[in-house]
Amino acid sequence: MHQPRTEPRESLYHDYKVHPFRRPPEMDGARIEHAVAIVGAGPVGLVTALALARLGVPSVLVEAEAQVSEGSRAIVLTRRSMEIIQSVGAIEPFVATGLPWKSGRSFFRGHEVYRMEMPHDDDDRFWPGTNTQQQLIEQYLVDAAEASGMVDLRWQTACTGLEQDDTGVTLLLDTPEGEYRLRARRVVAADGGRSTVRRCLGLRFEGRNYPGHFVIADIRADLDLPTERLCFFDPDWNPGNNVLVHREPGGIWRIDFRLPDDETPEAALEPETLAARIGQVLEMIGRPVQWQLDWATVYTANTLTLPDYRAGRVLFAGDAAHLLPIFGVRGANTGFQDAGNLGWKLAMVERGIAPEALLDTYSHERVAAAREICAEGGRSTRFMSPPSRGYRLMRDATLSLVLSQEWPKPLLHWRTSRPHDYLDSPLNTPPAGIDPAAPVPGAPVPDARLGEDDFLLGHLPAGFVLLGFADDADTLAALERNAARANAHGAPFSAVWVVPPGLAGAGRVVDALGRARARYRARSGDCWLARPDQHLCAAWHRPDAAAIGAAVGRALGLGLAAGSSGGEPAGAATEGERATEGER
Ligand SMILES: Cc1cc2nc3c(=O)[nH]c(=O)nc-3n(C[C@H](O)[C@H](O)[C@H](O)COP(=O)(O)OP(=O)(O)OC[C@H]3O[C@@H](n4cnc5c(N)ncnc54)[C@H](O)[C@@H]3O)c2cc1C
């Protein structure tokens, strides 16, 4: 019988809530066919459940543990992740407690050799990074899931097996009161890097594991340093390796360093060894203050992905689908994009609005994204933690040069996780009649400042949104007429009109500063169609009702034959890469 830990985990800054096991109706003989079952209530399972709920689809979310994640793990949310969390209605606590930041400094042999400001536009509500510990991320999402009334969150319930047939999937679940079977039409595997679902289906990652072990130690300390990323290459106390320092909410600081190659993780986590190294880091940054350890762990770097995120009625998301290096804060941030992409497609298929083939486009779009991230994350990893003597020589030569030269400094850019543009998606309608430099189909919907604390993305309702710009009443009336007549094929569809102050009214947002118009390079009459995951999928000047309806139909995959998701995603693995399965 599955018996997860029921004593609250220890933490200096988070009061863990232990969730009881509640006996489900299936254990007393009820026969229920659920729409969607999600395995794993980590960040990705939770956002997927919220994305489904926003579009009216309930889900059962089974979670093996009785409480949220142990330790801070993913601490940096990117702007895109914050936008996705906003789109599923859970953003407020993240804004209230997160630490926004946008710059970082790198040091080599005691000299500051690189300073990077991540691009931040005054039109973006969220900063490039917002630091929030993973326990808090999960707690806020659990609160939102409970508040939605659409997510049946079953704690202390481990998936141990599954079978699928033509009409659904049966999960075998183990609980403190014994086993039961749960039937769902579709299953999302969001059960993390060691996914049971992936193992049960016999699926293997492709990609590579990198050598080297890294320690993360979270300490509480009173440090008068700003919220920024600090990176120290080759410090005296840890020659050849590097150290990262990040500030977290609650007076917590993350110290992250690579171990010498001949040292085991167990030896590195010995209290005296760890304490000595934390002391050396604090000395190095000139702040030898008192501190308390909150949590420590060891991790490795991998660039691994499944080649297909769909296995019949089972869809993979987050770490169950890919394992990415944390350099560049990729794991959870990539998983949120999976969840946003999958949530609406699953909802549309489940509601009978879109064909099954739409689910193949999830795999097509997100595997391509993961491969792009593996390539980029691999470059960051090779620089941060050279895997061979050759890479180390090149890295050290670059570092030596930046002491005296400007030109190699951009090589120290740490390539933060960024959103993937689905430029080659079969769901896109080619743009027509808009400025060539305007946002294109495939890109995330750009935000724009409407007022002091008022931004465009906050006004987008759930579902497909036609975002239209009109400067005069006649243009607005014509666009409104065409949108009202458009055939949305049963999908949730609404229009948001961006207008000057004189045209204010219901369904309209006032672009008093003209910033939305400028950011979209829009003329009066220009319109963009946004998918429910807030990626653009069409753009035109004065589209008629037929054009709008055709674009919604295309984005729903109505023209796709089963199994035709647009071909093999870009950057497919080479033969040599199709092998290793990594361990975290
Ligand atoms: C030390 C460390 C530092 C990291 N730092 C960062 C960072 O700074 N930025 C970043 O973006 N990412 C970071 N990551 C990665 C990030 O933590 C993961 O990418 C993220 O947690 C993935 O979310 P997920 O929901 O896919 O999986 P998980 O968070 O692993 O969640 C999976 C959930 O499924 C549950 N589960 C597992 N098996 C079963 C089962 N059989 N039945 C039912 N439930 C099950 C688990 O209990 C868990 O709750 C870090 C990871 C580590 C380990």
Summary mean pLDDT of the chain: 91
| Structural domains of the chain in order of their starting residue, each with its CATH number | 25-98+126-204+303-370 (3.50.50.60), 214-299 (3.30.70), 449-555 (3.40.30.120)
Q: Is 66 in the pocket of ligand 1 (CB under 6 A)?
A: no
342 in Cβ contact with 188 (< 8 Å):
yes
Q: What is the pLDDT of residues 157-190, one digit of tens each?
A: 999 999 999 999 999 999 999 999 999 999 999 9
Do strands 508-510 and 493-499 pair parallel, antiparallel, or not at all (unpaired)?
parallel
3-state secondary structure of 550: helix
Return the ligand 1 atom nearest residue 40 CA.
34
pLDDT beyond 60 at 90? yes
Give the closest residue to 125 by CA, choosing from 508, 418, 458.
458
Give the closest residue to 176 by CA, choosing from 9, 19, 6, 21.
21
AA letter at 402:
V
Q: How far is the CA of 69 from the centre of ligand 1 (A)?
A: 8
CA distance 47 to 54: 10
Residue nearest to atom 1 of ligand 1 (CA): 73
Q: How far is the CA of 319 from the centre of ligand 1 (A)?
A: 6
Q: How far is the CA of 547 from the centre of ligand 1 (A)?
A: 42
133 in Cβ contact with 249 (< 8 Å):
yes
Q: How far is the CA of 33 from the centre of ligand 1 (A)?
A: 28
Q: What is the pLDDT of residues 279-327, one digit of tens each?
A: 999 999 999 999 999 999 998 888 899 999 999 999 999 999 999 876 6
- Burial call 9-38: b when 16+ CB within 10 Å, e when fewer: bebebbebeebebeebebeeeeeeebbbbb
CA distance 96 to 41: 23
Residue nearest to atom 2 of ligand 1 (CA): 73
Q: Is 68 in the pocket of ligand 1 (CB under 6 A)?
A: no
Q: How far is the CA of 543 from the centre of ligand 1 (A)?
A: 43
Question: pLDDT band at 419, cuts 50/70/90?
Answer: confident
Give residue 354's pLDDT: 97
CA distance 313 to 165: 8
Q: How far is the CA of 82 from the centre of ligand 1 (A)?
A: 18
Return the ligand 1 atom nearest residue 72 CA.
3
Q: Is 212 in the pocket of ligand 1 (CB under 6 A)?
A: no
- If one counts every other C-beta atom within 10 angstroms of the C-beta of residue 242, the result is 22
pTM over 0.85: yes
Question: pLDDT band at 584, cuts 50/70/90?
Answer: very low
Give the mutation target among 175, 201, 295, 319 for probing the ligand 1 site: most ligand atoms within 8 A of CB. 319
3-state secondary structure of 173: strand
